[in-house]
């Protein structure tokens, strides 16, 4: 019933915006512009609600793209017709039965306290114990647990800031990670923990579905009420629970079978931020983030390239057109596809990715193309082509914040096309009327020429680049030099890619390895992985415990 409803709504939209089905690259530029405008007007309309994965708006966009693929004459190339579903954690929320009582006085959830992502689903009562900052830092002569008196069964109250109130620049930063303090408190007998902070500059932790966290064995709450009331409490009762909502995202896949040996993949992501959320740069009430440039522009280009290559494209390669969902949540859709591909990835010639190609600047038109170092063929071909209406600026790395990264990590040559940043990025103001349609038409003509130029070159060779970007967050003093698999749900941190020349590469770590421990730091999830990196300085050596193909291993690494 739901699928029928969405299909009906999309058919109505198609009747209202019929599009131009005869758009040709070069022969009828205005027809191409009109088609692009129709696609973006529909995808970036309020009716699609910002196209967030796991929402009706995403399903509408999914149906729209698949119907366009079918109309063009593409073959279905998903795992279920044109579609490929993947599951992800959409949100983490506090359970309705969460409770906190101080000296038998109940407090109000969301106003006075909230459960933390580390929390176990449990209920406990006990004596309050003020554990200070909950730290033991021998090098700084700091110990919040002096003596040998056991605190087994007590509820620990811990200040989540640091003794010097210096935030991320604190000299206590290596020991300030909340999971580290939780683990320390558990070893001291904590039956539950209530965090708080008297530092007004401290940012309270949020329940984020973006960063995977492995719960501990006890309930953990964050207190936001009157601190004096908390600090003077004698007894505490607490009940914590989290509701993790999972949902399905959907990739859309269409295929042109030219009976060729190799296949070219052309991709773009169609999801956006819905009504806002963690990645939004909007400050204000929730509003629909239509994402006209990000990335209705890329999907419009994908559809029109598919039409062109079906009608009059070169025939020496097959063509797979992939519309990804979940890009804004950590490249979820493209990463899932490369692990569950519907074509043989070894037969993939190269991958082209279009993300935000709709806002080519009029005063200084520049097309940014990354991945130019992933094959020697790119430089030869791109030097031969003469773009019309803009100049091309290239960068070498195959790793960046879009879906081409997932394919580069599978040793596939990639190019990523991007028309530049603007002040409407990840805001409700990224709307259709701001699209530079002639500029996008010029970009697509350039991409079509690139495809044409490579048609008789056979399979181009892959080159691993010296990547300037990786998944390690830059605030740490050291980097391992890996791209984490953000969709991994098991214990540890699974590696999706290794940057050449970085510590992980030199140590022999490989894609697919699951990091379990770095030195003395156990790695349970992404948060504990980041905490482990914070414990090392440049030049230090340690051992990394991993699981490779089901077998435990240890490797030496130097940061």
State pLDDT tens for residues 496-518: 778 778 899 999 999 889 999 99
User: Is residue 325 located within the same domain as residue 206?
Assistant: no
User: Of 196, 217, 240, which residue constitutes the final position of a domain?
Assistant: 240
| 76 and 102 share one domain | no
Burial of 260 (0-12, 13-18, 19+ CB in 10 A): middle
Does residue 115 sit within a domain?
A: yes
| pLDDT tens column, 234-273 | 999 999 988 888 899 999 999 999 999 999 999 999 999 9
Please list, in sequence order, all residues whose beta carbon lies within 8 angstroms of the beta carbon of residue 318, skipping any fewer than 6 positions away. Answer: 255, 256, 257, 258, 259, 260, 262, 263, 264, 343
Q: Looking at residue 551, which CATH number applies to its domain? A: 2.30.42.10
The answer as to whether 151 is a domain residue is yes
3-class SS string, 268-293 = EECCCCCCCCCCCCCCCCCCCCCCHH
Span between the terminal Cα atoms of the chain, in Å: 55
Asked if residue 100 lies in contact with residue 107, where contact means CB atoms within 8 angstroms, the answer is: yes
At residue 15, the pLDDT reads 47
Number of domains in the chain: 3
Question: How far, CA to CA in Å, does 94 sit from each of 98, 286, 509?
Answer: 7, 20, 37
Q: Is the CB of residue 515 less than 8 Å from the CB of residue 546?
A: yes
**Of 184, 219, 240, which residue constitutes the final position of a domain?**
240
d(CA 51, CA 372): 31
CB under 8 Å to 369, separation ≥6 — which residues? 382, 392, 393, 394, 395, 415, 416, 417, 418
Q: Are residues 78 and 222 in the same domain?
A: no
Residues 86 and 131 reside in one and the same domain? no
In terms of Cα–Cα distance, which of 182, 174, 162, 211 is closest to 531?
174
Q: Residues 233, 345: one domain?
A: no
86 and 100 in a single domain? The answer is: no
Which residue ranges in the chain fall short of pLDDT 70? Answer: 1-27, 148-149, 167-169, 209-212, 467-476, 486-487, 489
- Comparing C-alpha atoms, which of 337, 338, 325 is closest to residue 299? 325
Residue 323 lies in a domain: yes
Q: Which residue has the tokens 């009109």?
A: 34
Mark whether 226 and 317 lie in a shared domain.
no
CA–CA distance from 141 to each of 137, 138, 144 (Å)? 6, 5, 10
CB 272 within 8 A of CB 280: no
Q: Is residue 37 part of a domain?
A: yes
Name the pTM for this structure.
Answer: 0.76
- Backbone φ and ψ of 395, nearest 5°: -135, 155
Structure tokens at 330: 């950590």
- Element housing 43 (H / E): helix 29-43
Q: Pairing relation of β-strands 263-269 and 318-324?
A: parallel
Which residue from 313, 445, 431, 450 is spatially nearest to 37, judged by alpha carbons? 431
Domain interval for residue 175: 96-240
Dihedral sign computed on CA atoms, order 435, 436, 441, 443: negative
Distance, in Å, from the CA atom of 86 to the CA atom of 397, rounded to the nearest integer, reads: 28
- The answer to whether 170 and 141 are in contact (CB under 8 A) is no
Residues 399 and 261 in one domain: yes
Q: Do residues 121 and 219 share a domain?
A: yes
Distance in angstroms (rounded) separating the CA atoms of residues 270 and 300: 9
223 is a domain residue: yes
pLDDT at 123: 93
Rounded Cα distance between 269 and 291, Å, is 11
CATH code for the domain in which residue 161 is found: 3.50.30.30
Query: In the prediction, which pLDDT does 73 show?
Result: 97
Within this chain, do residues 487 and 377 fall inside the same structural domain, yes or no?
no
Residues 299 and 396 reside in one and the same domain: yes
| pLDDT score of 18 | 46
**C-alpha R_g of the chain:** 26
Would you call 179 helix, strand, or coil by DSSP?
Answer: helix
Q: Do 514 and 485 contact (CB within 8 A), yes or no?
A: no
**In whole angstroms, what is the distance from residue 426 CA to residue 271 CA?**
12
What CATH number does residue 426 fall under?
3.40.630.10
> Would 464 be classed as within a structural domain?
no
pLDDT score recorded for residue 26: 59
- Pair 377, 394 in one domain: yes
Give residue 486's pLDDT. 65
């Amino acid at each position: 019933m739901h699928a029928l409803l969405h299909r009906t709504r999309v058919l109505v939209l198609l009747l209202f915006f019929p599009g131009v089905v005869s758009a040709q690259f070069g022969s009828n530029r205005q027809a191409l512009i009109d088609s692009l405008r129709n696609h973006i007007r529909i995808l970036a309309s309020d009716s699609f609600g910002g196209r967030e994965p796991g929402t009706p708006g995403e399903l509408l966009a999914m149906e729209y793209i698949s119907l366009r693929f079918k109309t063009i004459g593409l073959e279905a190339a998903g795992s279920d017709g044109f579609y490929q579903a993947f599951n992800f954690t959409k949100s983490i929320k506090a359970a309705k039965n969460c409770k906190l009582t101080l000296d038998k006085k109940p407090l109000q959830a969301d106003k006075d306290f909230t459960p933390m992502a580390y929390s176990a689903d449990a209920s406990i009562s006990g004596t309050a114990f003020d554990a200070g900052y909950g730290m033991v830092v021998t090098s700084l002569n700091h110990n919040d647990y002096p003596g040998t008196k056991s605190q087994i069964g007590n509820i620990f109250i811990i200040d989540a800031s640091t003794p010097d109130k210096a935030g991320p620049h604190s000299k206590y930063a290596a020991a300030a990670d909340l999971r580290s303090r939780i683990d320390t408190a558990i070893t001291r007998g904590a039956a539950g923990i209530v965090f708080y902070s008297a530092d007004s500059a401290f940012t309270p932790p949020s329940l984020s579905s973006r960063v995977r966290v492995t719960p501990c064995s006890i309930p953990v709450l964050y207190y936001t009420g009157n601190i004096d009331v908390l600090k003077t409490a004698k007894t505490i009762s607490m009940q914590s629970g989290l509701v993790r909502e999972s949902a399905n995202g959907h990739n859309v896949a269409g295929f042109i079978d030219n009976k060729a040996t190799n296949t070219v993949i052309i991709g773009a992501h169609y999801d956006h931020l819905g009504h806002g959320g963690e990645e939004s740069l909007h400050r204000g009430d929730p509003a629909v983030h239509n994402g006209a440039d990000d990335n209705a522009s890329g999907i419009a280009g994908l559809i029109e390239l598919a039409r062109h290559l079906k009608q009059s494209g070169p025939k020496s390669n097959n063509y797979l057109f992939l519309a990804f969902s979940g890009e804004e949540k950590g490249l979820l859709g493209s990463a899932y596809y490369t692990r569950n591909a519907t074509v043989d990835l070894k037969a993939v010639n190269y991958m082209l990715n279009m993300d935000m190609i709709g806002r080519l600047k009029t005063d200084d038109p520049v097309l940014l193309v990354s991945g130019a170092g992933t094959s020697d063929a790119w430089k030869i071909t791109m030097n031969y082509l003469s773009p019309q209406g803009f100049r091309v600026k290239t960068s070498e790395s195959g790793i960046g914040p879009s879906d081409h990264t997932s394919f580069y990590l599978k040793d596939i040559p990639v190019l990523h096309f991007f028309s530049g940043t603007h002040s409407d990025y990840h805001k409700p103001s990224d709307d259709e009327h701001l699209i530079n349609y002639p500029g996008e038409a010029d970009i697509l003509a350039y991409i079509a020429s690139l495809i044409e130029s490579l048609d008789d070159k056979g399979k181009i060779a892959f080159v691993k680049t010296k990547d300037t970007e990786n998944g390690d967050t830059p605030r740490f003093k050291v980097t391992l030099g890996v791209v984490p698999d953000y969709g991994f749900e098991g214990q540890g941190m699974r590696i999706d890619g290794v940057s050449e020349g970085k510590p992980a590469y030199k140590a022999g770590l490989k894609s697919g390895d699951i990091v379990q421990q770095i030195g003395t730091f156990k790695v349970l999830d992404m948060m504990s992985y980041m905490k482990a990196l914070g414990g090392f300085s440049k030049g230090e050596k340690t051992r990394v415990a991993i699981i490779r193909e089901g077998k435990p291993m240890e490797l030496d690494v130097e940061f």
